Structure 1
Amino acid sequence: MKRHAPATARNSAPIADVLAGELPERGTVLELASGSGEHAVFFARRFANLRWQPSDPDPGARASIAAWRDADGPANLLAPIAVDAAAPQWPIAEADAVVCINMIHISPWAATEGLFAGAAGLLAHGAPLIVYGPFLEADIETAPSNIAFDVSLRGRDAAWGLRDRAAVDRVAADAGFTPGARYAMPANNLTLVYRRS
């Protein structure tokens, strides 16, 4: 029932270090595209004052999240819910932060548009939407490994692929978000922080 994503063990601590400076001290964090659930367990343990709400549109992923939660989850880790980022309505009324890890490049562009539109309906002024993954940036040379990864993704699904950061910024602005911090992460990834205007 439990799924295991090898990259999770490598990137959980670096991402958590960034989140520590960007998340509110208390409240509810909605994690979109929680995948295996390993990040959710790690972050809920690290941020004990926050309620961590994992979600995923895939029933198998939600089953894995639930299995990790039952086996290792702290009390502040909530049961997973079904959220499709591209859907016009999400089954959650409010959140104090939204976190989205490794979804934007492994989903259609409509999911990115929906991510910002949906988060805009949940978050108060100044609240963060934090995304992590590989991005293309016009003024920074793309690592060969990311170029190869992009080719691989598009070979698997033509709707997938690394996204141009400027295009993501435009979608964010249209939804009422202001770009904030940019963190360079291991393995040529970025953490980007957007704040609700």
Structure 2
Amino acid sequence: MPVRSTPGTASVANPEGGKLFAPSAARNLDVLADLLEQVAPPSGHTALELASGTGQHVVGYATRLPQYTWHPTEADPSRLHSIDAYIAEAALDNVRAAKALDATAAGWSATQEPQDLIVLSNLMHLISTPEARCLLREAANTLTPGGRLVIYGPFLRAGELTSPGDAQFHSSLKAHDPEIGYKDDFDLLDWAEEVWLSPVEVIEMPANNLALVFAKGTA
């Protein structure tokens, strides 16, 4: 699946030297790292970040959760260099080089080693429903038994947009591409259950976002 274009309001990344800098990623990094410290499997060792974007998040995660070896991925070739630049600057030994991976494409799980933790932030509203369901299926196939999938971003709540800002953003996404836009939280829970991912927690996050945490069954 080719990388989808997005409206300017959906992604802001400004070049800084060899790195890209997204103000939104800087704002929510500590919140997301706090979340992962709370919900990540305590005995886990391998972690996969899907759609790593600029690379700001993965180095923060690796610093806060050093027990994990982190594997950043990204579908946009222009961002792979930025991710690796952040990794080089951080000089951490628990982050691998970024790999090209389209998380919405069928079959990517066959190319990955099993992961104890998979993290995805701010992508579900930028992809179509079939792509979202494919991503969940492939993530489930990649997780170890008992592993966790953590999804963060804006969602419809029981079919409703809950703030004027969300309504405006959702409308701008649909105007840009009718196939994308906010996903419903209940739909995502249903789609995850279909691929044997059980909900662990649904956590209200700042800026009207949600974190949905799933576990892969051990049976």
- Name the TM tier (shorter chain): over 0.9
**Which of 100, 113, 116 is the matching residue for 2:136?**
116
- What residue ranges of structure 1 are gaps of 5+ in the alignment? none
Residue of structure 1 equivalent to 2:38: 21
Equivalence for 1:107: 127
Cα gap change, 1:122/1:155 in structure 2, threshold over 3 Å: closer, same or farther?
same
What RMSD over aligned residues (CA atoms) do the two structures have, in Å? Answer: 1.5
1:120-146 superposed Cα distances (whole Å, 9 cap, x missing partner): 211122211100000011287611111
- Cα deviation per residue 1:40-63 (whole Å; 9 max; x = unaligned)? 111111111111111011111111
TM-score (norm 2): 0.85
Equivalence map 1:75-154=2 (5 Å): 75-90=93-108, 91-138=111-158, 142-154=162-174
Tell me the equivalent position of 2:27.
Answer: 10
**Partner letter of residue 162 of structure 2?**
T
Count of residues paired in the alignment:
197
User: 2:181 aligns to what?
Assistant: 161
Distance 2:171 2:196 in 1: 32
Give the aligned partner of residue 191 of structure 1.
211
Query: What SS is found at the alignment partner of 2:105?
Result: coil
In structure 2, the gaps of 5 or more residues are 1-17
Q: Compare 52-61 and 105-114 and name the one that shifted more.
A: 105-114
Partner of 2:66: 48
2:90 to 67, 72, 83: 72
Distance (whole Å) between structure 2 residues aligned to residue 140 and residue 185 of structure 1:
17
The answer (yes or no) to whether the contact 1:41–1:73 under 8 Å persists in 2 is no
Alpha-carbon distance between aligned partners in 2 of 1:73 and 1:163, rounded to the nearest angstrom: 37
Structure 2 residue identity aligned to 1:59: P
> Displacement, 1:113?
1.1
Query: What fraction of aligned residue pairs are identical, expressed as a percent?
Result: 36
User: 2:150 is paired with a residue of what secondary structure?
Assistant: strand
- Give the stretch that moved more between structures: 50-59 or 139-148: 139-148
Q: 4+ runs of 1 displaced by more than 3 Å?
A: none
TM-score with structure 1 length normalisation?
0.94
Superimposed CA distance per residue, residues 138-166 of structure 1 (whole angstroms, 9 cap, x where no aligned partner) = 28761111111101111222222111111
